[in-house]
Each structure stands twice: as structure tokens, then as C-alpha cells.
């Protein structure tokens, strides 16, 4: 054991942790006495251990002994156990509610003319905003009337693709483009009339293999969930009491501003790898640090390759951005910090040579899909939602092993799993494409053809139209997976 320089300070820290444990125990008592009884006994044992350790520390100050690190580890273990017990209770409660729930379609929905009220961050300059706009385009393409309910969000709300917003929801279907953790406050912000005589569909994204049990109550606010990828369908659908249907996003033709590399301060000669991410989506999940390390391993000269990191919402984690800049020291890495107008973003994608993503988990991978549709070769982690449109024949997939998350990162909790991409393999792909650009262009052409097929606006519109018809007919049972893009199209029959 290490000698203590300040026993009194450590004693105060132990007492503070003891107080925190008491506060956590009280919160758990109010949540559910029945399911937290075992946890409370464990916390009582932990309290005794803390008191004994604190007493020992005070009594043996002259010896300079400290158990602080061991106590912190014990506290973390008991806290993890408490989370598991609470989540177990939530799962049981959700299953009880599901057994009591009657799944059906209101008669008013069956009788009304088809139409969809779309709620979400419609004018947000973010991935969630663009996903919502993709759904609106698909509904327009299918000839389905829509009413647009814009939801204020934390992102910059400056996209002008759609501006005809209304406050009411006159159509029989609600399509709410907000994730599960936002459903409760959205429902609370609307009166009952918003959901009465409506069939409500949530369009949710989730990146991990397991859905969070503490979010199961979100199903109480929807009759069905649509997801953009098979990865999300398996995760969200595992314990779902309602249908969970794979309805891929349909990509529009990109509209680019008439600007090139000079506009963004990018040199003309190097082969440019573009890595786009939102800092508020958790840097550890997006893993740009892995891209910087792989780029360093590739060992390419500055005049041959450049890594361009384009990100938004740096204020969400300034320290992580600083660490990223430190890791890139000495490399030909350029950073663009801040939001761009949508046509500028497309122009930036067009001006670069390859899209790169060494993510740990993606619910879909929209920026990858958008760049591949432009004919850009892609290097990405062989894991999660991007595998719906990325195959070894049309992209470079980086092998990865599944690892446990070591601590909480925003909504991604310790103990859950995500990917750890092989940086040596990524470095080889970076070298391959930078040193053989003709090969990269051929790969990009194959990728573009594939993405435009599986993520076409036609396909997305067809799937939406077909599913809405099924619901109005009362046919709620689904197979789960989206039909093949080569399958006959019943929506336009």
C-alpha cells in the first residue's frame, strides 16, 4: 500500500463518498423498495466497510497507509451491481406493461385518408436532422401528404430544406424522428390529442448491440418503431412490445455549392481522407483518435496524403478535441471546426478523395453513405449499421474485435459492447488507396452503384408506402428485415 501524504484529506474524501452512497441508496429506495432490497443490503455492507476503513485510516495516520483506491474500486463495483438490479426491475416492469398492452390500429386511422405528421429536428444541421429530411423526401416521393412539426433542438437550426412548419397534426400517422430517450419529454410537451386516434411511429437510432433497459418505457409512447439498419432492428427489437421495422433512409442526389478545395483551405496535391463527426455524439464512439493513429501508422509523406477532420459542436468536449490535436502533432492533419451550410458540406465531400470512419458503433452511418453515393471509396470499421450498405466488394472494411466499454460515455454505459478496430489493417488500407488512386476510383464507382441501389429514394418511399398500407389494413405482424432492393415492389402495384 502506498504511503499517504495527507490522511485528513483522504478521510474527508472517504466521508464524502460515504455521503454519496447514502444519497444513492435513498434514490433507489424511492424508485422501488421491492427490487432494491438486495442492493440496500449491499450498500449497508459497503457503508460498514467505508466506516471501518475511514477509522483505520484516521487511527493509523502515522503509518501512512491508505485504502482509497481499493475503496473507490469497491464503490464502482457496487454501483454497477445497483445499476444491474435497477435495470432488471425496469425490464420486468416493461414486460408486465407489454403483456397488458393491446396492440391494434385505431378505427379512425383505418378510415382516414393516408397522411403522416413528421415531428423532429427538421431544420437542424445534424445527422438527426438530415435523417428526418430523408424521411420527408421519401414520403413526398411516395405521394403521401405530410404535416411538418419542427422540434427545437440543441444543434444549430439553420437548414432551409423544409420551412412549411405547422403546430397541428391533422393526419392519421405520427412519425416522430426522435430517439428513445427523448420520447417521454416529447410526449409531455404535447397534449393527449396529439396521440388520440393516431398511429404513432418512432424513428429511432441506437448504436450498440443491446438496448438500454431504462429506455424500455419509451415504447409506451409509440405503436411501432422504424429503424435505419438491421443492426438497430436487432438491438431495439429484442425486447420490444411493438413492431420494429427496418425502413432504410433514402439518399437524395447531392446538391453541391460551386466551390472546391481552395474554399476550404485544402492543398490541391495530396490524396485527402475525410473524417466527419459530431463531438456531441461522443468522441470515444466516433473514434477520430483511432483514425489519427492509423494515419500515423500509414507513414505517408505530407505531399501524398492528408487527413481532414471535419467536426461540429467542439464545445461539447473541448478537452477531447485538444487531445486529438495533440495526437495529430507532426502529421499532415487538418481540422475544420464548425457547422457548414448543407451545400457546402456536399462540396467538401466532393472535393476530397476518400471517406474514413474507424467508429466503434454506428446506428446507420449517414456521412459514409452520402460520400459513397458520390463515388468516393470508403474505409470503415466492419461493425454495426454501416454493414447494411458496405460490403468487402465495394469498400474497405477494417476488421474489429468486440470489447466491453470501460466506463460511461454519455448514453453508452460501462459494461455494454462496441468495436475496437484494427489500426494496423486501417493503416494498410490508407496506404493502398493513397498510393493507387486509380484503384480507389474504381472501388468508389462500385460503391456508388451499390449504395444508390440499396439506399435509393425509390426503395425508401416504397417501403414506407407499403408499411402504412399494411398498418391501415390491420396487418401488424412483420418479418423484421427490409425486403431486398431486387424484390418486386408491392407499393406501386
Phi-psi region of 442 (alpha: psi -120 to 50; beta: other; left: phi over 0): alpha
Q: What is the pLDDT of residues 338-394, one digit of tens each?
A: 889 999 999 999 999 999 999 999 999 999 999 999 999 999 999 999 999 999 999
Residues 92 and 204 in one domain: no
Residues 400 and 474 in one domain: no
Residues 447 and 303 in one domain: yes
According to the model, what pLDDT value does residue 222 have?
98
Residues 430 and 465 in one domain: no
Alpha carbons 201 and 203: distance in angstroms, whole number: 6
Mean pLDDT score of the chain = 86
Q: The domain containing residue 67 runs over which residues?
A: 7-100
Q: What is the pLDDT of residues 411-447, one digit of tens each?
A: 999 999 999 999 999 999 999 999 999 999 999 999 9
Torsional sign, CA 267, 268, 269, 271:
positive
Q: How confident is the model at residue 64 (pLDDT cuts 50, 70, 90)?
A: very low
Closest CA to 448 of 356, 347, 376, 350: 376
Evaluate whether residue 493 is within a structural domain: no
Task: Give the total number of structural domains in the chain.
Answer: 3
Is the whole-model pTM more than 0.95? no
Residues 153 and 124 in one domain: yes
CATH number, position 324 = 3.40.50.2000
Q: How confident is the model at residue 30 (pLDDT cuts 50, 70, 90)?
A: low
By 3-state DSSP, what share of the chain in percent is helix, strand and coil, each rounded to 5?
A: 50, 15, 35
According to the model, what pLDDT value does residue 153 have?
85
Residues 201 and 313 in one domain: no
Alpha carbons 107 and 196: distance in angstroms, whole number: 11
How far is residue 268 from each of residues 3, 18, 300, 304, 437, measured CA to CA in Å? 58, 60, 16, 11, 14
Residues 124 and 172 in one domain: yes
Residues 133 and 175 in one domain: yes
Torsional sign, CA 238, 134, 410, 390:
positive
According to the model, what pLDDT value does residue 24 have?
64
Strand 417-421 with 400-404, pairing: antiparallel
- Taking residues 45-71, report their average pLDDT: 47
Is the per-residue pLDDT at 28 higher than 90? no
Q: How confident is the model at residue 454 (pLDDT cuts 50, 70, 90)?
A: very high
Evaluate whether residue 24 is within a structural domain: yes
Q: How confident is the model at residue 101 (pLDDT cuts 50, 70, 90)?
A: low
Q: What is the pLDDT of residues 171-202, one digit of tens each?
A: 999 999 999 999 999 999 999 999 999 999 99
* Domain-ending residue, one of 53, 77, 100: 100
Q: Do 351 and 268 contact (CB within 8 A), yes or no?
A: no
- Taking residues 137-165, report their average pLDDT: 94
Residues 156 and 25 in one domain: no
Q: What is the pLDDT of residues 309-348, one digit of tens each?
A: 999 999 999 999 999 999 999 999 999 998 899 999 999 9
* Domain-ending residue, one of 67, 100, 133: 100
Q: What is the pLDDT of residues 257-301, one digit of tens each?
A: 999 999 999 999 999 999 999 999 999 999 999 999 999 999 999
Alpha helices in 268-422 (DSSP H): 283-286, 288-298, 318-327, 342-351, 366-373
Residue 157 or 479, more confident: 157
According to the model, what pLDDT value does residue 490 have?
40
Residues 277 and 412 in one domain: yes
Evaluate whether residue 440 is within a structural domain: yes
Q: Given the C-alpha cell 379512425, which residue does it identify? A: 108
Is the per-residue pLDDT at 39 higher than 70? no
- Taking residues 484-492, report their average pLDDT: 52
Angle at 231 between CA 98 and CA 308, to 5 degrees: 135
* Domain-ending residue, one of 82, 100, 118: 100
What percent of the chain is predicted at pLDDT more than 90? 73
CA neighbours closer than 13 Å in the CB half-sphere of residue 253: 1
Alpha carbons 162 and 210: distance in angstroms, whole number: 34
Alpha carbons 338 and 279: distance in angstroms, whole number: 10
According to the model, what pLDDT value does residue 301 have?
97
Q: Do 465 and 144 contact (CB within 8 A), yes or no?
A: yes
Q: Residue by residue, what is the 3-state secondary structure of 88-125? A: HHHHHHHHHHHHHCCCCCCHHHHHCCCCEEEEECCCCC
Amino acid at each position: 500500500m502506498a504511503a499517504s501524504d495527507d490522511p485528513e484529506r483522504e478521510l474527508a474524501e472517504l466521508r464524502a463518498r460515504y455521503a454519496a452512497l447514502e444519497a444513492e441508496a435513498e434514490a433507489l429506495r424511492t424508485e422501488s423498495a421491492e427490487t432494491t432490497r438486495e442492493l440496500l443490503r449491499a450498500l449497508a455492507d459497503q457503508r460498514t466497510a467505508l466506516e471501518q476503513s475511514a477509522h483505520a485510516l484516521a487511527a493509523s495516520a502515522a503509518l501512512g497507509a491508505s485504502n482509497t483506491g481499493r475503496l473507490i474500486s469497491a464503490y464502482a463495483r457496487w454501483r454497477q451491481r445497483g445499476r444491474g438490479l435497477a435495470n432488471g426491475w425496469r425490464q420486468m416492469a416493461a414486460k408486465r406493461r407489454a403483456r397488458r398492452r393491446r396492440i391494434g390500429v385505431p378505427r379512425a386511422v383505418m378510415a382516414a385518408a393516408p397522411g403522416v405528421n413528421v415531428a423532429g429536428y427538421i431544420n437542424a444541421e445534424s445527422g438527426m436532422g438530415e435523417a428526418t429530411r430523408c424521411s420527408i423526401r421519401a414520403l413526398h416521393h411516395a405521394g403521401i401528404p405530410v404535416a411538418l412539426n419542427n422540434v427545437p433542438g440543441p444543434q444549430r437550426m439553420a437548414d432551409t430544406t423544409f420551412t412549411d412548419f405547422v403546430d397541428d397534426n391533422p393526419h392519421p400517422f405520427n412519425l416522430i424522428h426522435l430517439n428513445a430517450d427523448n420520447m417521454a419529454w416529447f410526449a409531455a410537451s404535447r397534449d393527449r390529442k396529439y396521440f388520440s386516434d393516431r398511429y404513432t411511429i418512432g424513428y429511432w437510432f441506437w448504436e450498440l448491440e443491446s438496448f438500454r433497459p431504462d429506455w424500455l418505457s419509451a415504447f409506451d409512447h409509440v405503436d411501432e418503431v422504424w429503424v435505419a439498419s438491421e443492426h438497430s432492428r436487432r438491438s431495439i427489437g429484442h425486447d420490444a412490445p411493438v413492431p420494429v421495422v427496418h425502413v432504410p433512409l433514402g439518399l437524395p442526389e447531392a446538391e453541391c455549392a460551386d466551390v472546391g478545395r481552395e474554399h476550404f483551405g485544402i492543398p490541391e496535391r495530396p490524396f485527402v481522407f475525410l473524417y466527419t463527426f459530431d463531438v456531441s455524439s461522443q468522441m470515444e464512439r466516433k473514434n477520430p483518435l483511432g483514425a489519427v493513429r492509423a494515419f500515423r501508422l500509414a507513414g505517408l509523406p505530407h505531399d501524398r496524403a492528408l487527413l481532414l477532420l471535419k467536426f461540429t459542436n467542439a464545445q461539447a468536449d473541448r478537452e477531447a478535441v485538444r487531445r486529438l490535436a495533440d495526437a495529430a502533432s507532426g502529421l499532415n492533419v487538418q481540422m475544420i471546426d464548425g457547422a457548414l451550410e448543407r451545400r457546402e458540406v456536399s462540396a467538401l465531400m466532393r472535393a476530397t478523395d476518400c471517406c474514413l470512419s474507424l467508429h466503434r458503433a454506428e446506428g446507420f452511418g449517414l456521412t459514409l453513405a452520402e460520400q459513397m453515393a458520390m463515388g468516393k471509396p470508403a474505409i470503415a470499421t466492419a461493425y454495426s449499421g454501416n454493414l447494411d450498405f458496405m460490403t468487402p466488394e465495394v469498400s474497405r472494411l477494417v476488421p474489429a474485435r468486440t470489447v466491453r466499454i470501460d466506463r460511461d460515455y454519455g448514453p453508452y454505459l460501462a459494461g455494454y459492447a462496441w468495436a475496437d478496430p484494427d489500426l494496423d489493417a486501417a493503416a494498410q488500407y490508407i496506404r493502398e488507396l493513397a498510393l493507387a488512386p486509380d484503384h480507389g476510383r474504381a472501388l468508389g464507382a462500385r460503391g456508388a452503384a451499390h449504395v444508390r441501389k440499396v439506399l435509393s429514394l425509390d426503395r425508401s418511399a416504397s417501403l414506407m408506402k407499403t408499411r402504412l398500407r399494411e398498418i391501415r389494413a390491420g396487418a401488424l405482424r412483420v418479418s423484421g428485415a427490409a425486403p431486398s432492393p431486387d424484390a418486386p415492389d408491392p407499393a406501386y402495384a
